[in-house]
Amino acid sequence: MSEVISFKVSKEIKEKYEQLKDVIDWPAELRAFVEERIRKAERKRIIHKILEKKTREILPRGSVVAAIREDREGD
């Protein structure tokens, strides 16, 4: 089942949104953006949890850099 999320934007943004309705599939674009942003935030949270648990352990060389790079670049 779907849920509704709403948010406010400036009048200028709303006008541009309306002008581009026939060019951009706003619901699909916004859903995709939110889903990707959630995936990135979840990965970041997991990385932080792992690093917190391993603060006293030695991590393999480059593992932190690789995890951060993957988070920034996204898959």
pLDDT tens by residue, 50-67:
887 766 666 667 777 777
What DSSP letter does each residue of 39-74 carry, written as one string?
HHHHHHHHHHHHHHHTTTSPPPTTHHHHHHHHHHH-
pTM of the predicted model as reported, rounded to 2 decimal places? 0.64
Average pLDDT over residues 42-57: 80
Region of poorest pLDDT, from 4-8, 37-41, 71-75: 71-75
Please report whether residue 1 resides in a domain. no
22 vs 60 pLDDT, higher one: 22
**Residue 3 placed within a domain:** no
Half-sphere exposure of 53 (CA within 13 A, CB side): 5
Q: Which amino acid is at 32?
A: A
**pLDDT over 60 (residue 75):** no
What's the total number of domains in the chain?
1
66 within some domain: yes
For residue 47, being part of any structural domain is answered with yes
Say if 34 falls within a structural domain: yes
Domain holding 43, by residue range, is 11-73
Closest CA to 33 of 67, 3, 74: 74
